[in-house]
Structure 1
Amino acid sequence: MTRNGRNRTTSRGAALAASAIFVLAIAGPAAAQTALSPEQKAAEASSAWADLRPDLFGDRELVEGTDTIAIEAPKRATDPAIVPVTLSFDPKMDVRKVTLVIDENPSPVAATFEFAQGADIRTLSTRVRVNAYTDIHAVAETADGKLFVTKTFVKAAGGCAAPAAKDPEVAAKEMGKMKMRQFDADGASVHEAQLMIRHPNNSGLQKDQVTLLYIPAHFVTDLQVDKGGRPLFTMTGGISISEDPSFRFAYGADAAGPFHAKASDTEGKVFEKTFTGEQS
């Protein structure tokens, strides 16, 4: 090969290399924005949502990307047994039902909430167990029967089998105790309160730390919250709701009258209380 030929080859190679660098420089930021983390790739590869969706909602359309429902949870949970989750709703959309699904949990449907007509629930927060890196889906159903879905990805593992935080004897003695906190500001049009229930909410996957035998599942299955004799919301729950269930909610309904809460669990026990003060 002539010297000129070598120069042409070298020049062509340099030009191709420069072009490749230029393309990568342009595509790099965009690729970085859309690239999934290794954990997300692993979760999507074995995602249970593809099977859960038709089982739970059949062939009904689930609308994504709207403000009808939003979900907030930590990207990496500090404690997988008590992962905070907050749901927010567009008050103009009249949401009546919400299904909270933790895709990779042994029992994925954490809870189903139903809102009474006129309750005007704006936000709802609770704490859940997360057993593996997973998407958490929230599906809202509006009064006209339309379904809206949103999701968030949470890095956590082992929450369903994590040991109870309390001594079993103490938990049994306190079981069923309820407390209601109210956070209303003077003249507020939207009111906020928090219901806390003492209950071990055993998942059935936890072991007794002395005998190493599995503790039977024992959890709150049903909850009804009323205000001034009018229903606000109900919940049907499963093993994914954390120990000592807590529900903080904001609502726009008339705030007159006392709160009343009634809960029942898998053993048929019923816990009920009327709250007369701001903190009772």
Structure 2
Amino acid sequence: MTVTPIGAGSIQAATPDSFDPWPGLVQDIFNNRQIDEGAGIVAIEMPYRAEDAAIVPVTLRITLSPADNRRVVAITLVIDQNPAPMAARFELGQDSSVSEISTRIRVNNYTDVHAVAELSDGKLYMTKTYVKASGGCSAPAAKNAEEAKARLGQIRFRQFAKATDGPQNGTREAQIMIGHPNNSGLQMDQLTRLYIPAFFINELRIWQDDTLVLAMQGGISISEDPNIRFAYVPNGAKRVRVEARDTEGHLFQGEWPVENSGI
């Protein structure tokens, strides 16, 4: 335990969150650009105390007023106390009207989690929440090596329509699920007692026909079997295409027809 003197004959234990890494992360990830308060621009939702630190749900919502003529072009998710704090950067397709993104992440320590939205005028806006969780980046994989190998690169697509939406208009929700161990590099092989090398999905792109809906640059903090759910506005496309790459250069692809009703 690290202790800090506070007076003659007395000591005070340093707490896990006594060091605030955020100022350094602003410099490292955002080149020290000005980041303003993001209330009314972007919101982040996570459980205050995670049930499982290896699969913590997080939802990012765009709350920018329709009267604002700017748009959100990207959202960066930062888990301040994780070994690799930048969990993901989501790029939003120009005409896709993405309004919500949900995924599952690993949280390694009690930490602030920041969502930073970049707008079309180049300005950055931030919101944050606090999460109590620990050990998520080093938690053993849920699936054994053989099962993970068999599922590697399998992509599933689901699309949902809200009850009030017609089949070809209004906001739709879709979900992309990719079979991949997404090894963090901090997990230990229980047989060899050696660390398993980092191996994860680092690029994901989703299109309606040839129009980009959403792209993700991912890191070690995205959970095993990456799961991305998002709300968007269909453009009348006949198909949805997905392309994912991992850190070993594998390319995974999928394509599905868009029917008149949710799948």
| TM-score tier after normalising by the smaller chain length | 0.7 to 0.9
Letter in 1 for 2:98: I
- The match for 1:246 is 227
User: Could you list the per-position Cα deviations for residues 2-25 of structure 1 after superposition, in whole angstroms to 9, with x for gaps in the alignment?
Assistant: xxxxxxxxxxxxxxxxxxxxxxxx
User: Could you list the per-position Cα deviations for residues 164-208 of structure 1 after superposition, in whole angstroms to 9, with x for gaps in the alignment?
Assistant: 000111101110001111111341511110100000000010011
Task: Find the aligned partners of 1:271 and 1:257 in 2 and give their Cα distance.
Answer: 21
- The match for 2:189 is 208
List runs of 5+ in structure 1 lacking aligned partners.
1-40
Task: Find the aligned partners of 1:189 and 1:43 in 2 and give their Cα distance.
Answer: 45
1:90 aligns with 2:63: yes
Q: How many angstroms does 1:61 deviate by?
A: 1.6
Task: Find the aligned partners of 1:205 and 1:255 in 2 and give their Cα distance.
Answer: 44
SS of corresponding position for 1:47: coil
Q: How many angstroms does 1:130 deviate by?
A: 0.2
Q: How many angstroms does 1:253 deviate by?
A: 4.2
SS of corresponding position for 1:226: strand
Task: Find the aligned partners of 1:65 and 1:112 in 2 and give their Cα distance.
Answer: 17
Of 79, 95, 106, which aligns to 2:52?
Answer: 79
- The match for 1:17 is none
Of 119, 126, 130, which aligns to 2:103?
Answer: 126
Letter in 2 for 1:240: S
List runs of 5+ in structure 2 lacking aligned partners.
1-13
SS of corresponding position for 2:122: coil
- The match for 2:3 is none
- The match for 1:164 is 141
Determine if contact 1:229/1:257 at 8 Å carries over to the other structure.
Answer: no
Determine if contact 1:88/1:122 at 8 Å carries over to the other structure.
Answer: yes
Task: Find the aligned partners of 1:256 and 1:199 in 2 and give their Cα distance.
Answer: 28
- The match for 1:260 is 241
SS of corresponding position for 1:53: helix
Task: Find the aligned partners of 1:54 and 1:274 in 2 and give their Cα distance.
Answer: 39
Q: How many angstroms does 1:43 deviate by?
A: 5.4
Q: Which has the larger radius of gyration?
A: 1
Of 42, 50, 54, which aligns to 1:69?
Answer: 42
Q: How many angstroms does 1:255 deviate by?
A: 4.4
SS of corresponding position for 1:261: strand
* Aligned structure 1 segments of 4 or more residues deviating by more than 6 angstroms: none
Determine if contact 1:228/1:255 at 8 Å carries over to the other structure.
Answer: no
Letter in 2 for 1:159: G
User: Could you list the per-position Cα deviations for residues 220-244 of structure 1 after superposition, in whole angstroms to 9, with x for gaps in the alignment?
Assistant: 0101000122111111111000000
Q: How many angstroms does 1:151 deviate by?
A: 0.4
Q: How many angstroms does 1:63 deviate by?
A: 1.2
Aligned residues: 240
Task: Find the aligned partners of 1:178 and 1:255 in 2 and give their Cα distance.
Answer: 23
Q: How many angstroms does 1:258 deviate by?
A: 1.3
Determine if contact 2:237/2:258 at 8 Å carries over to the other structure.
Answer: no
Structure 1-normalised TM-score?
A: 0.82
Letter in 2 for 1:86: T
Determine if contact 1:191/1:255 at 8 Å carries over to the other structure.
Answer: no
